[in-house]
Structure formats: C-alpha cells, structure tokens
Structure 1
Amino acid sequence: MPRLAKPLTAIEVKRLSKKGFHAVGTVAGLGLSINLNGSKSWVLRATYGGSRRKMGLGGFPATTLAQATEKARQIKSEIEKGLDPIQTKKINKSKLISDRAKSKTFEECARLFLDSRTFHNKKHAKQWESTLKTYAYPNIGKLIVSDIGIESIKAVLDPIWKSKTETASRLQGRIKSIIDYAIVSGYREKSNPAIWDGFLDSIYQSPKKIKVVKHMDSMPYSKVYEFLQVLKKHKTISAKALEFLIFTVVRSDSVRSATWSQIDLNKGIWTIPKLLTKTKKRNHTVPLSSHAITLLNKLERFVGTDLLFPSPQLKKISDNTISKLMRDMRFNKEFKGEGVPHGFRATFSTWRLERTNYTQELGELSLMHEVGDSVYQAYQRSDGLEKRRKIMQDWSNFINKPYQDLEKYKSKVISLKRKVA
C-alpha cells in the first residue's frame, strides 16, 4: 500500500514544476505527474489483483485538486468492493458510446432509411419525402426515436386521419417502416407504436370505410372512335403515345417507359418488365392488336434512345405531357365531355361488360389486375395470352369503327311472322 504523503494545498500543487510524479496526500497513491513538455495530469497508483496499476484522472488545471481527490476516493471504494476500476471505466465508456449511437432522432433515422432504399419511381421517392416533411417532421422529427410512443404517433395522424385519409394511411405505413428500421439498426428496443394491426386499428377507423373513392374521368366507349379520328390529326409523340395507350389499355407509365427491346412485332407481343407493373411481381405480356402493330410500324425510330415515345431530349416523356394533350384538346373543343388517359381503362372495362361476352377474369387480366386470392394465384399458371389477344383485337376493331347503338338498331327491326295456313 502506497505511503500517504503530506497533504498539499491547491496553491502548493499549482507551484509544482519539477518533472516527475509528485504525491499530493489526502489519498494514498494520488499524485500530479509532470511530463518533459511541462504538461500536468493527475495519476492514481493503486494495487488490484496483485498488480500495480496507474490510472489517469484528468489533466491539470482542468481537473482541480478537489476533483482529483474525489475521483481517487471513488476508485479506492470500488477496489475495496472487489471491482476492477479500469474495467469499469472501459464498460462505462463503451456504454456511453453505445448510448450516443442510439440517440438518433426520427428525422435522422428517416434519412438513413431513405438512403438505404432504392426507389424505382422518382415520383414515389418525392412523395415519401414530401409527406414526412409536411406531417411527420414538425411533430416527431426532433424526437429521439427510442422515445417515440403512441401519443407521438397520434399527434401526427389525428389532424389528418379523417380529412386526408389516404395520405394519413400512407404516412402511417411510412412511419412504421422507419421505426422498424430503427429497431433492427439498434436505435430502439421498444415495440413499434406505428403498427396498424392489433394496435392503431383499435384507435382509428379503417381507411377503407372512410375513404371516398374518386374515380378517374372516363370517356364513354361510344365516343372513342370520334376521339381517335381527331387524335390521329395530331402528329406529336404524345399523341402517338396516347393512341397506343388506348389500344393496349395499360397504365401511362408503362407506355411512357416502353422500349423497342420490349416489343416483338413478329409475335405481336409487348412484354412489360415487372418493375414497370403496379405489383412488381412478374412481367406482363400485352397482346398487340393489328391496329397497335400498324401504329408501331409507322413510328420513327430515334438514334440515341430505345424508347418508343421519347421527348425532344430523347428522354422519357412525363405523365403530364399526355394528360395536357387531352386537356388542350378539350379546351380547343376537339371533343366534348370528360376523360383522362387513365380513364380509358375504365372505358374498356365498361365496353367488355356491356358489349361483349368476355368474362370479368379475362377483363381483369387484360388490365394487369391481380385475379383471385393468393391460393388461386398460386395455382394459376396461364396468363390467358391467346384469349386476351382476341379481346384486345375486338376492342381495337370496335374503337376503329363508327359507333352503332344496338338498341336503336333493334328498334328499327320489323318482325315478320310467318303466316300459318
């Protein structure tokens, strides 16, 4: 055990200048070490586990004599309890580093999560950032993610759950994903308060029950022929893209992203990669009608791009480009009534129901919709290509001929009854 030196006062400690170790008393083994460069630091010499150890207690004068004395006494107390002070210090330091690493705010976790994701659609990525910035960050952005509870989630969702149900529902899912990310990343140990099933569903009414569905404006199938005749007078790329969309009744993004490498004109097939489908589960094969093939054969192929319908910069045209074409045509009174590009899918569905004997299943497959439950889908191996080829050809034939009202036609038919002798 180190011999207890004569206690030094704070003034005496300050005057020490000789290189080496200077015992300061009060606690056995406590001293001020002065290096060759003149820097001073507190050192405690103590024996633990049969070996002599040196432990730094901080620099002087940042750490005063009184503070160094208190630290030395605490260490001595730990040694008397059988604790290894150096190991305890390492554990405390490690815990401090770990706690600091866990002290991530929700906004920090959100940015890390978004950086780790790959969005196949830039519009989707912007929607994520926009909803978080508008609704989540003002309420929980600065909160430590491990401290977020149900009240924090309610503060975000309560104001918009009924007035902006669809946005609120999507926001709930996004917050859940971010907190899930925080949990698996070690930033949070508690359960996720943004879970819907068995948690938030006991607080909020289901979005399906309160959401008002607004359908896209669609053109009556009786007007499509007239519209096509006017559309064909427009020689722009967007007009050709819209015409192709009407023939194939696929979504706008698939048409705008269509490339020549996806088209097989010999087989009359257009294969849409799964990443460009809504479900992103599998590629979708579109049977091309004779009218669609004729349109493609007349298209100009541009050097520098594989796109069917490129912009002047040889890039993918925007969704607004096609929508604006229809708005301008309506404004210029080239057609009457309502209608947007996406609405032609509803037009096709109505035509299939009212003017054909094709099944709903075939119609849904033609629209790239999921048909049946998961069990049905697991055993459904055929995509009905040849049957879909027939319905798509019938659709093209129908919209390329002047409309005939069958009811009016029937009313003009005179029934001739055979005279019985």
Structure 2
Amino acid sequence: MGKLNIKQIEHLSIPGTYEDGDGLRLVVKASGKKSWVLRFQVGGKRREMGLGGVPDVKLRDARNEAFAQRQLVQKGVDPLAEREATRLALAKAMLTDQSRAITFKCIALEYIAAQRNGWKSAKHAQQWENTLTTYAYPVLATLNTEDITTEHILKVLTPIWQIKPATASRLRNRMEIVLDAAKVRGLREGENPARWRGHLYKLVPPRARLKTVVHHPALPWGEMPAFMQELWLHGDLSYKAIVLSVLTV
C-alpha cells in the first residue's frame, strides 16, 4: 500500500517531495502546483519520469501508471525511451497523413513559385508550367510524390520520347527536380524514379541515339496529274495500289 492518501494530497502545501512508495512520489512546488514523478533505475542509471499533475491524474491513476512502468523496467525496458519512441512514431504517422494531401502538382507549383524570381526570364517559368501541364499533370497531378514510380514516369515520357526528344528530355529533368524537392521536404524516400543515370538510361534510348525523322517535301499539286498517270502506266500492281490509296484518302 502507498503512504499517501487523497486527503493528504489535497492539503499538502509545503514545497517538497512526498514519497508514496516503490519509486512513486508527489512533488509540490512553491507555486502550489503538484505533480507525480516515478523514480526508477535502468542499466545502472537512475531516471525520473513525470506521470502528470494533480488533480488531472488522481492517486489511483498515478499508482496504476507507476506499476505499468515498473513492469517495463523489470523487462529491461527504459520507460522514458519507450515513451519517446511512441511519441516519435505518432508524430511520424501524423506527418505521413498530412503529406498524403500534398500531391505532385502541389510540389511542382510551390517549386516554380519559389524559383521564379531566380530564373532569367518569365518565359522559363512559363515553359516549366506548360510542359508539366501538357504532359506530366495528366498522369501525376493528383498522385502523392511517395507513390510515384518508374512506371508513372515512363507513362509520361514514352509517348513523346522519340517524336519530341528535346521536350521529353527537359520534361524528365523537371520531374526529377520536383521529386527531389519533395524528398528534401521529407515527403518521399528512396531513389528518384525520374533520374537518368543508372536508371531511365537503361529503359529509353539517349537523345543522341534517336534518329531524326526527315519528311519528304510535298508534291506540288500542279504536278499531281502527271505523277498519277506515270504511276498508273507503270503496270506493276503495287504502283496501282498507290494510286488507289491517293484517290481514297
């Protein structure tokens, strides 16, 4: 049984420490504030742990909490370290919940706004907005940055990688920067799925290896009758097929 009782606790006014037993003590401050403290020893070190103040924490509750913490000590667990680990886990969970609401588009817009004054011209900022709006946002806008994978990046880049290589390359770089910004803010972990070296380099051909498509100039319309007649008179069925294709376009 403890040494303190409810009436004693109510009337204690002299500053000091009042033992209840088994390490539980009531500390009375000069201001009149009263609080519960548990003293214990772990790994040869004496520790003190606050259990709350009076009247919020009643005598029975303080004893129950002290008993629970002593059980941890008997198992070799430091109650203070355990409390801190729990606090950090809860804080991380709250941060994770909050970060889920911050999408790729949010990070991109914030990055552009932060960098706009440092760029050489307003045109550069507009180019950022245009490429992301046209190509990236249809796939990534509403996704949390933590959820974006290589497959998402390829879904953005593949349709334009060979037909618009310069635009695709700039777009890839901008997506990489946005995801890096998210990582710096603690909103994602791991490697950047939009990085080039050692990653996308293995999945899509470099710009230098892409063949530039050269379109033949259109035949002037005035020369079309003679061209069609020449094809028809050639005799080969493949030439006649070309004539048919032209006439049915």
Q: Could you tell me how far 1:174 is from its partner in structure 2? A: 0.6
| 1: CA distance, partners of 2:203 / 2:146 | 22
Alignment-derived partner of residue 202 in structure 2: 202
User: Which of 55, 70, 74 does residue 50 from structure 2 map onto?
Assistant: 55
Task: Tell me the amino acid that sits aligned with residue 55 of structure 1.
Answer: G
| 2: CA distance, partners of 1:46 / 1:70 | 14
Structure 1 segments (4+ residues) deviating >6 Å: 28-33, 58-61, 63-71
Is structure 2 residue 122 aligned with structure 1 residue 122? yes
Is structure 2 residue 73 aligned with structure 1 residue 79? yes
Q: Could you tell me how far 1:126 is from its partner in structure 2? A: 1.4
SS at match of 2:153: helix
| 1: CA distance, partners of 2:163 / 2:68 | 60
Q: Could you tell me how far 1:18 is from its partner in structure 2? A: 4.5
SS at match of 1:170: helix
Is structure 2 residue 190 aligned with structure 1 residue 190? yes
| 2: CA distance, partners of 1:105 / 1:65 | 48
Is structure 2 residue 158 aligned with structure 1 residue 152? no
Q: Could you tell me how far 1:195 is from its partner in structure 2? A: 1.6
SS at match of 2:210: helix
Alignment-derived partner of residue 266 in structure 1: none
Matches within 5 A, 1:149-298: 149-161=149-161, 165-183=165-183, 187-207=187-207, 209=210, 212=213
Task: Tell me the amino acid that sits aligned with residue 120 of structure 1.
Answer: K
SS at match of 1:153: helix
Name the structure with the higher helix share. Answer: 2
**C-alpha RMSD over aligned residues:** 5.3
Report % sequence identity: 34
CA contact (8 A) 2:162 2:210 kept: no
| 2: CA distance, partners of 1:19 / 1:141 | 63
Structure 2 vs 1, CA of residues 212 and 113 (structure 1 numbering), >3 Å: closer, same or farther?
farther
The gaps in structure 2 that reach 5 residues or longer are 13-18, 216-249
- Post-superposition CA distance 1:157-207 (Å, at most 9, x none): 345545655443322111112233444565544122112233223323445
Task: Tell me the amino acid that sits aligned with residue 76 of structure 1.
Answer: R
| 1: CA distance, partners of 2:58 / 2:166 | 62
CA contact (8 A) 1:146 1:189 kept: yes
| 2: CA distance, partners of 1:188 / 1:176 | 13
- How many residue pairs were aligned? 202
In the superposition, the TM-score normalised over structure 1's length comes to 0.34
CA contact (8 A) 1:30 1:45 kept: yes
Q: Could you tell me how far 1:154 is from its partner in structure 2? A: 2.8
Task: Tell me the amino acid that sits aligned with residue 171 of structure 1.
Answer: L
Matches within 5 A, 1:67-146: 75-90=69-84, 92-93=86-87, 100=95, 103=99, 105-114=103-112, 115-116=114-115, 118-146=118-146
SS at match of 1:56: strand
CA contact (8 A) 2:40 2:47 kept: yes
| 2: CA distance, partners of 1:213 / 1:59 | 84
Structure 2 vs 1, CA of residues 73 and 169 (structure 1 numbering), >3 Å: closer, same or farther?
farther
Structure 2 vs 1, CA of residues 77 and 140 (structure 1 numbering), >3 Å: closer, same or farther?
farther
Q: Could you tell me how far 1:72 is from its partner in structure 2? A: 5.3
SS at match of 2:73: helix
Task: Tell me the amino acid that sits aligned with residue 73 of structure 2.
Answer: I
| 2: CA distance, partners of 1:54 / 1:60 | 18
- Post-superposition CA distance 1:361-411 (Å, at most 9, x none): xxxxxxxxxxxxxxxxxxxxxxxxxxxxxxxxxxxxxxxxxxxxxxxxxxx
| 2: CA distance, partners of 1:213 / 1:177 | 33
Q: Could you tell me how far 1:78 is from its partner in structure 2? A: 3.3
